[in-house]
Every structure is written in C-alpha cells, then in structure tokens.
Chain A
C-alpha cells in the first residue's frame, strides 16, 4: 500500500542548514508537498513540487525530488529558531475513481540558539 516515511526528529544549530528527508512508495504520485505545523496550529503549506520536476527553490527553501529512489527532501538554509516546528511530507495520488493525499508522521525540527 501507499506509505510516506520520515525520520521523527532533527536538531540543528541556528544559522546552519536543515535537511528533512522523506521517502514514499507510490510511484503514481503527481504532487509532493511540505507542510509546517507550529504548536497548537494547523498545517501550513510551505511548498510543493510537481512530480516531473527535480528541484524547486523558494527563498530559503529548496525541495529536491529523486523519482527513481522515491525520495523527497526539504532544505532550509540559515535555519532560525522560528523554524522550529513539525514538518510533514505528503504526496497526492490519483487513481481510477478517485484520489488521495498520504501524509507522513512528521519530522520535529529543533533549532538550538
């Protein structure tokens, strides 16, 4: 079945780069997403990448997609304490008769001052 896996925790120092990794199993995904969740809040869409792209850059965020290995990563440059949050990877899959979005369990990013 479909599955999205992420490591549970990542700790970095302020100013360093953070790289959050995600693997997925379904090769028919069309879009892949990164969401950010701060304490007590909903999921905020950070960025997304279409499955025929290899890379997308948006200010401090860089998304890399390796379709062969079914691997997605999110790099945050110059990580700040305000980046501390849970980051969710998700993929959208379209299939005959419907569609679904599969979420990973989230990676909790700790940023040390």
Chain B
C-alpha cells in the first residue's frame, strides 16, 4: 500500500449525510493529496497539503473539506453528500511535489 492506508475501504451514504475519510501515511512525507477517480477519467485532484496545518484546493474542491492537523493524517470530509460524489477516492503522499505514492482507495456510493 506504498505506506498509505485509507479508512474505510467502502461506504454507502444517503444523500445529505456527512462522513470523513481518513488517510494515514507512515513515511513522514510533507505532501499529501486527495483525488477522485471516475470511470473513463483520469484522477482529479480535490485538495492537497504541503505540510502539517496547511491545505489547498485542487481541481474539484467543491463539496469537500480537508484538514491536516497531524503530519501523518489527511482527512477528507463530505458535509452533505450528493450522488455526484459517488466515486473512488485515493489518497497519496510524496516527499516533494513530484512523485506520488497512492493508497488502496475508498469506494463511496451515495444513494
């Protein structure tokens, strides 16, 4: 798992529910990322962090929030889930801004 674990592996939500996805890394890397993967599309960056206490918006940030209170953990929150957020979510880490290593993914279904 490239030193990245994601919790949970799979989740079903109803529209309007909230949830938090957890990403943890054991490599002490500064950079962490959240992507979503949809059929027929490449990965799209939701949010990222360049260090503890920092976060920044990616390509598709709307409807998501993130926090990086500890260097090892990067949390992705959905305040009010929508069916359009049905996707596979991947977390990644990197030592610098270049080569990224991915976790196994969280499959989210919003009904």
Contacts and interface: CB of A to CB of B under 8 A. Distances in A.
A3 to B, nearest CB: 10
Interface of B: 1-2, 4, 40-45, 56, 58-59, 90, 92, 97-105
Interface of A: 4, 8, 30-31, 33, 35, 40-45, 48, 88, 90, 92, 94, 98-106
Contacts of B101: 45
A90 B94 CA distance: 15
Contacts of B2: 42, 44-45
A105 B99 contact: no
Contacts of A94: 97
Contacts of B41: 105
B43 A92 contact: no
A35 to B, nearest CB: 8
